[in-house]
Structure 1
Amino acid sequence: MSRRTLVVGLATATCLTVSAATAHAADLPSSEFPLGGPTAKSVSSLGQGVELFTLKAGKATDGYTVTILMPNGRDHGTLQDAELKAGEVEAAGETPSVQPMVKPQVSDGPAKEYFTVRVGLWSLKDKDEAAKTVKALKDAGIKSKVDFLGDDGVQTTGPWNMKVLMIDGRRFRGSYAASLGTSVAKRETTSSMAKAAGALAAVNGGFFNIHTLSALRGEPVGVSVVGGRLLSEAVPGRSALVLKGRTARVTEIKTTVAAIAQDSARVDVQGVNRNAGADEMVLYTEEWGAKTPANGGADAVIDASGKIVGLRTSGAAIPAGHRVLHASGVASDWLYQHAWEGWTMTFDTKVIDLRTGSAIALAPDVHVIGGGVGLVRNGRVRVSAKRDGHDSVNMVLRRHPRTMVGVTRGGGLIVATVDGRKPGVTVGANMIEAAQLMRWMGAVQAINLDGGGSSAMVVGKKVVNKPSDGRERAVGDALLILP
């Protein structure tokens, strides 16, 4: 395994000379790290065309402050709310500061100004002193919290710890795939999914639903296609990563599913492999890994040939090799009228690329992972936070651990994690910074996947980044790099 190290200063760069015979085809830029230096990197070759970079940049200068909570429980609000809270803090004997907080402009939404109220500044080693102020304010009836300034999303010197997989599209002879593990409904670690598939490397995939029933919290929030099979419907118009063999692209997706009975009656299906809402049709495949909802609805059990082999009250498992069309509430009427045992039921399933307007052919080597936010489009920073459902201060402005994927002009793939939530060690990135990082690394299209404690990169059988939970989190799906 070859290794080399490059150190880059704030103003000057010291370049390591590598002969043409040993140079890596995929490499990080020699230009200055976009979020600030100094920078150090090392690289390991994982196989033909795949390089793993460890990147460390910046230095720790941020400390702690105390943030006052607004009447709505948030740490930011209107100027009027901030000034009222500042008055309460002053009456309690502390010296408050009302500070503006600007959620930055994104490609599909304007900048917006908020205000926060803060008390004091403490160094990294004096967090306990900040906590004493929180207690004193609590005794005065004022809710507050200790905040690390590096999390704010405004100017920082870092540091940043990153892991980056650079995959040369000309030399790589493996393929890309998605995995939902052993069940759509249940969560599984990225390393477990990577091991089961014999993956060379892997990262966590898209967001999963933490607001559903506890037994179903592996279900993706948005589209999932695995091996050409639609296993979760899209949130229409949201960003996604489309994989086919050893190619990848970022686009926006919508999906449609319709059930067609033997008598030609047709009905729209609202969901695939998720908990059904009121008066909905939801299609469950054997990958669901849980029972259909016990909501008094009806289930049509359909075998691999499309034959309806039974009509039952909902709340049972999906038999192996079968699908179940579930209907809740008044939607059950359609099943009772058109889903007769012995009849056939077919499904018209479309996954539509909204950039081309065409349906994606669902071949066995096609996989789709729903993302969080589009970051780069046509080589430019273009953060589509509003369209992709993540337009809050916390998601756009605050720094968090991130998992990001980008496609290069030459057809290569960039897969990166930036660790965060570790004061003095690594601060993470906000959405704008994530986009800047991917563009700097050479992505012409890029997407943000799930982050926070979910961010994990696995190489071989080892998690190579440092998840912020202190251990690897079970997630909904994963992106696999297969040999």
Structure 2
Amino acid sequence: MSRRTLAAGLAMAAALPLTAQPATAELSSVRFPSARFPLGARVVPTKTMTTVTQGIDLYDVKAGSSTDGYTVTVLMPSGRDYGMLPTAEARVAEVEAAGETASLQKVVRPGVADAPSQTVYMVRVGLWSLKDKKKAEKSAKKLKEAGLKVKVDYLGDDGLKTTGPWDVKVVMIDARTFRGSYAATLGTSVAKRETVSSMAKAGKAVVAVNGGFFNIHTDKALRGEPVGASVVGGRLLSEAVPGRSAVVLRGRTAKITELKTDVTAISQDGERVEVNGINRAATTDELVLYTEEYGAKTPTGGTDAVLDATGRVTGLRASGAAVAKGTRVLHGNGVGSDWLNEHAWQEWKVDVVSKVVDLRTKKALKLTPDLNVIAGGVGLVRNGKTKITAKRDGHDSMNMILRRHPRTLLGTTRNGSLILATIDGRQPGVTVGANFVEAAQFMRWLGATQAINLDGGGSTALFVDKKVVNRPSDGAERGVGDALLVLPQ
């Protein structure tokens, strides 16, 4: 196969444009759109609707067809599957020295609201149909034997032009007729990861989805910790990453916004100090608050001040012990430990004051028992327009913006209705997932005027009426950090 023929076979759109879409007309209730599916060739989707309970409908949606196949991608010295032009050209020469024909592919990652576009290059070998994956694997093996690092790629995952297919589940909760409420849960503890279905069943939810991202870069036993703000029943259990997207739940209302949190410890001698974190591993010179929901021991190598429900210091202890029910622990190391030893004497009072601020309104949220907060991953839609805040929300990479993954999406409409959606992916020939641009287009198509991306990939799970209704890409449910629950009352 010539390089020209191969390049033609691999030709794809360089980027998905952030196209304007007409504003959704305000409705008295949330309705599934009658327009063509917004992705790919914009075909008429097939859908099946099931009424879950009053005000809640589940839609099983399928669209598109499979035309993508496989190629072999040559990795760059960095280990990435793309690089700058000189690096990519050097890789082409190495492939041809190994007796194979390589294609140099230019790829443009689209610009988003807070990150410019990026042009990179990929080096690829061969093009095989969906049923010929073994042939691609055989070619990859030959290249590995020649000393090249490669991987077999399904082209539907690229995030460029595709015909699909897509397998989507959508839950529409009508603000006009829904009589239940929304809540967040971290399961049995902050530290532990649990499946959405286990948390949903424990909370007696009729619908549930996985929540925000959790910390995969901490100790294995602590990886249930949310990356961002978490409030459950009015209790702040994880601090915000300032300015990142979140969904604020109160009763049967849901609002998407950006948050920051401030936590301060105030000793009875008047000394004040910032509390750096809540229910997470502590770093050098930090002061971290642990609540009874933490579910793990405090870190070793510091000082713990144990507080009762009134804020009275019941004792100072060496760190590395559990948090007893009805207590909180201020843990410090280095400078944080010094502050505790100087201002948290036994029987003294230490008030811990927590504040959660809505950055759109500049007002603090009242931490009442009906308040729940789940951190989002990336803002997608704001005031009816595509606004992808990938950089602010920590996901401005090629992999996260352009490539397709399973997605869990949350949106609100003009009248306050809630839309929850999962787009399954990583299942060649069955469903391709979505990139950020496609996810935003999809939520606008559904009628969302505000929308965010929650955790996705293998975490994507939608629980409806006692079972998971989507197909998690791991083949089974993954344990996650938190979940959003839709309660019948």
State the TM-score, normalizing by the size of structure 2: 0.93
Asked whether 1:442 is paired with 2:443, we answer no
Among 28, 34, 44, the alignment partner of 2:32 is: 28
Q: Offset of 1:39 from its aligned partner?
A: 1.2
Residue of structure 1 in register with 2:459 after alignment: 454
| 1:330 CA displacement | 2.2
* Aligned position for 1:20: none
Mind listing any 5+ residue stretches in structure 2 that lack a counterpart? 1-27
* 1:437 alignment partner AA: F
What is aligned with 1:17?
A: none
What is the alpha-carbon distance in structure 2 between the residues aligned to residue 149 and residue 393 of structure 1?
Answer: 15
Q: Of the candidates 246, 263, 278, which is equivalent to residue 257 of structure 1?
A: 263
Cross-structure match for 1:4 = none
Q: Pairwise mapping of residues 181-220 of structure 1 onto structure 2 (< 5 A)?
A: 181-220=187-226
C-alpha contact 1:179 1:480 (8 A) present in aligned 2: yes
CA–CA distance in 1 between the matches of 2:47 and 2:384? Answer: 24
| AA of the residue aligned to 2:233 | G
Residue type of the alignment partner of 2:199: M
Residue matched to 2:253: 247
Which position in structure 2 is the counterpart of 1:12? none
CA shift digits 1:277-310 (9 cap, x unpaired): 111000000000000001x210000001111101
How many angstroms apart in 1 are the aligned matches of 2:161 and 2:377?
24
CA distance in 1, matches of 2:212, 2:336: 30
Amino acid at match of 1:473: R
* Alpha-carbon separation, structure 2, partners of 1:420 and 1:207: 18
Alpha-carbon deviations, 1:387-434, whole Å to 9, x = none?
000000110000000000000011100000000000000000001100
Equivalent residue number for residue 19 of structure 1: none
Secondary structure, in 3 states, of the residue corresponding to 2:293?
helix
Given that 2:48 and 2:60 are in contact with CA atoms closer than 8 Å, whether structure 1 keeps it comes out as: yes
> Does the 8 A contact of 1:239 with 1:370 survive in 2?
yes
Mapping for residues 41-52 of structure 1, pairs under 5 Å: 41-52=47-58
In the alignment, is residue 409 of structure 1 matched against residue 420 of structure 2?
no
Note if 1:269 corresponds to 2:278: no
Task: Specify the code of the residue in structure 2 equivalent to 1:312.
Answer: R
The answer to whether the 8 A contact 2:52-2:465 is kept is no
Paired residue for 1:8?
none
Measure how far apart 1:26 and its partner are.
Answer: 3.5
- 2:426 is equivalent to residue 418 of structure 1: no
Equivalent residue of 2:257, what SS? strand
Indicate the residue corresponding to 1:320 in structure 2: 325
* 1:26 and 1:51 in contact (8 A); partners too: no
Alpha-carbon offset, residue 475 of structure 1: 0.3
Q: How does 1:339-350 map to 2 (within 5 A)?
A: 339-350=344-355
Q: Secondary structure at the match of 2:449?
A: strand
Paired with 1:68 and 1:220, the residues of 2 have a C-alpha distance of: 35
Letter in 1 for 2:94: E
The residue type equivalent to 1:113 in the other structure is T
Give the secondary-structure state (helix, strand or coil) at the position aligned to 1:474: coil
TM (norm. structure 1) is 0.94
Amino acid across the alignment from 2:206: L
Mark the runs of 5 or more structure 1 residues left unpaired by the alignment.
1-23
Q: Deviations over 1:166-189 (max 9, x none)?
A: 000010010001000000000011
- CA RMSD in angstroms comes to 0.9
Superposition map of 1:19-418 within 5 A: 25-35=29-39, 36-294=42-300, 296-418=301-423
Cα distance, 1:340 vs. partner?
Answer: 0.9
Structure 1 letter corresponding to 2:31: D
Q: What's the CA shift for 1:143?
A: 1.1
- State the match for 2:19 in structure 1: none
Match of 1:83, SS state, is helix
Give the conservation status (yes or no) of the 8 Å contact 2:245–2:378: yes
1:465 paired to 2:470: yes
1:233-279, Cα deviation, whole Å (9 max, x unpaired): 00111000111110111111100000011111110000000000111
CA distance in 2, matches of 1:122, 1:163: 30
Deviation at 1:345?
A: 1.1
Deviation at 1:140, TM superposition (A): 1.1
Percent identity (aligned): 66
Measured after TM superposition, the shift of residue 38 of structure 1 is 4.0
Matched, 1:474 2:479: yes
**1-side partners of 2:65 and 2:366: how far apart?**
48
Question: Contact 1:26 / 1:49 at 8 angstroms: preserved in 2?
Answer: no
CA distance in 2 between counterparts of 1:130 and 1:309 reads 65
1:34 aligned partner, one-letter code: P
